[in-house]
Chain A
Amino acid sequence: MTPAAAAASPSPAGPAHVQVRGLTAGYGALAVQRDVDFSVRRGEVFVVMGDSGCGKSTLLRHMVGLDPPLAGDVCYCGEPYWAADDEARERLRRRFGVLFQGSALWSSMTLEENVALPALELLALPAEEARAVARLKLALVGLAGFEDHHPSEVSGGMRKRAGLARAMALDPEILYLDEPSAGLDPLSSRRLDDLVLELRESLGATIVLVTHELPSIFELGDHAVFLDAEKRTMTAQGTPRELQQSEDPKLRAFLSRGRL
């Protein structure tokens, strides 16, 4: 596929797991991105990239149901989220888990309570079972033995991993990761990338990764879109390697850290 064809946004074979349709991202009267259209296939790692301030995080807030978009919609397996009623939204929300940029662990609870809470409250699992599931999830991200620690008592990398464990608490089909390696040292960030790949392989989840970290983009990404901060729209999509060959000087500069 040529970069030009990639930019023309062909709908790939197979059903779209997540589809963003004609979406205008923004808040109040301020639109930060217009006409964003892309599809995420089941089981792939999809990267949303762009420079700081381009509206990546705002787009993510629309995708995970936090703020309504100014226009357009986000569809899960063809079912529009924002056009749905509250009950349907709640059902759709079960399908995805979110790792926030700052981990966003509930600071008054231990790591185990953090991971167990969704199962306890939403699935009404008995406390003992919910705790067993939480311990398993924490072990999967390498945090066995830290169940009783509070978020403030562990390192930034561990908080990220605990956040990942919480995002996976209800075995979601889709994992949203917002800047997972932001603020981590190169080794921790590498370990987190490996963990994400490992979880993708073993759980078969679709992963939507919002990042501007080049190593993560090339190591993890199956497909990617690039959001341009100045043009305020999506300017390219394709595999990271295809995008590297793009004609768009801005995108090429972005993917090569400005070294053309």
Chain B
Amino acid sequence: MSPSASSEARVSLAREPDGTLEVRLSGRWALDAGVPSGGPLAEALASAPAPLRLSLLADELEEWDSTLVAFAHAAKTLAQERGVPVDASTLPPGARRLLALAAAVPPRVEPLPPEDDALTARVGRIALHAWDTAADGVAFVGETALALAAMARGKARFRRVDLLHAFETTGVGALGIVALVNFLIGAVLAFVGAVQLQPFGAAIYVANLVAIAVARELGPLMTGIVMAGRSGAAFAAALGTMTINEEVDALRTTGLRPGEFLVLPRVLATALMLPALVAYADLLGLMGGMFAGVTLLKLGPLEYARQTQQALELRHVWIGLGKSVAFGAIVALTGCYYGIRCGRSAVAVGAAATKAVVTGIVLVVVADAAATLLLYVVRL
């Protein structure tokens, strides 16, 4: 036999007159040499007349590893499904032992019923899951509201240092990115507005556009979105990890409520810090607008400032700041919710952070749209 012929695994089938199906496994069976197909064997087993016995022969075997055992195990399972007895006594002793070991896996106690895969069943499951999540989310918000009420009565148990820490990370830590984003948004807005207004000789009204849009809408909205990416994800990851490490359970058995001890400081800090950040964002947005107005549109800085002052009624600023409190609460609640309800694996923490950011952004934008509609209806 040439070396090349001997270097691959071969399976030959033969049907003996006494009804035995002989499967001769020969050559070199190795992981790097590939595994022969089990197709012909399956066909032979299925063809009529059904074989009375399956005999696995290994008298011409040169070398073997787990590929041989895998093939033999598959052949044995297949034969046993059809009620055909299997004789594997000529396999190498090691392979026989592995085969016995693979067969010794105890059957599962009461396997779970397979999930119904029909479209209707899947739609139903998704709908039920969405409903459960919504109901659970409302319960979570309620819990936090109760924690807030407990705090108002001076009965909430949480560490003041956690609150201060949350103030620092959500507030001071976000100054840089909030400044950058809002400055650029203000500048871009001024530039886009100017392109439209300049042909009418109304370039100075860019100041009105920037002032109102930034103070009323874009300042709070952009800051809310930045916070969803920053603090929402951070809360979800931190609380998710605590859930996995049983730290949240440890709080519960100690008699501390996670809603008070973990969620309340974070929600409070974010809801109170966001208006401050938005006031800062408004200022930076106006400066961005002025920068674009002065450098690109050649408007006078004083003229621009005076126009801004005239356009920007204080109510616009108050509306923006009021919305930002709600945005802060939404972002922090979403982050904490997904963190506390995190699954029990490392992948679950990543999933929780992703969901917290996505849901946080969606809810902030929806809340902003709802607020804009409401304010339009009441003519503010």
Interface residues of A (CB under 8 A from B): 61, 64-66, 90, 93-94, 96-98, 100-102, 104-107, 117-118, 121-122, 166, 169, 229-230
Contacts and interface: CB of A to CB of B under 8 A. Distances in A.
A64 B173 CA distance: 39
B360 to A, nearest CB: 23
Contact of A94 (B245, B247, B255): B255
B256 A104 contact: no
A122 B255 contact: yes
Given A121-B157, A122-B157, A230-B109, A65 B253 contact: yes
Interface residues of B, number: 17
A121 B246 contact: no
Contact of A118 (B159, B241, B254): B254
Contact of A102 (B246, B253, B255, B261): B246
B250 interface: yes
Contact of A66 (B159, B247, B253, B255): B253
Nearest to A178: B246
B102 to A, nearest CB: 20
A169 B190 CA distance: 61
Interface of B: 109, 157, 159, 241-242, 245-247, 249-256, 261
A65 B246 contact: no
B352 to A, nearest CB: 17
Contact of B245 (A102, A121, A122): A102
A104 B157 contact: no
B237 to A, nearest CB: 13
A214 B241 CA distance: 32
Contacts, number: 55
Given A94-B255, A121-B261, A122-B254, 7 more contacts: A61-B249, A65-B252, A65-B253, A66-B252, A66-B253, A118-B256, A121-B159
A100 B255 contact: no
Contacts of A64: 253
Nearest to B253: A98
In the complex, the 3 A-B pairs of residues with the closest C-beta atoms, listed nearest first: A104-B246, A104-B250, A98-B253
Contact of A107 (B109, B242, B256, B261): B242
A93 B255 CA distance: 7
Contacts of A106: 242, 247, 250-251
B236 to A, nearest CB: 16
Contacts of B254: 117-118, 122, 166, 169
Contacts of B247: 104-107
27 contacts: A61-B249, A64-B253, A66-B249, A66-B252, A66-B253, A93-B255, A96-B253, A98-B253, A100-B249, A101-B246, A102-B245, A102-B246, A104-B246, A104-B247, A104-B249, A104-B250, A106-B250, A107-B242, A107-B245, A107-B247, A117-B256, A121-B157, A121-B256, A122-B256, A166-B250, A166-B254, A169-B254
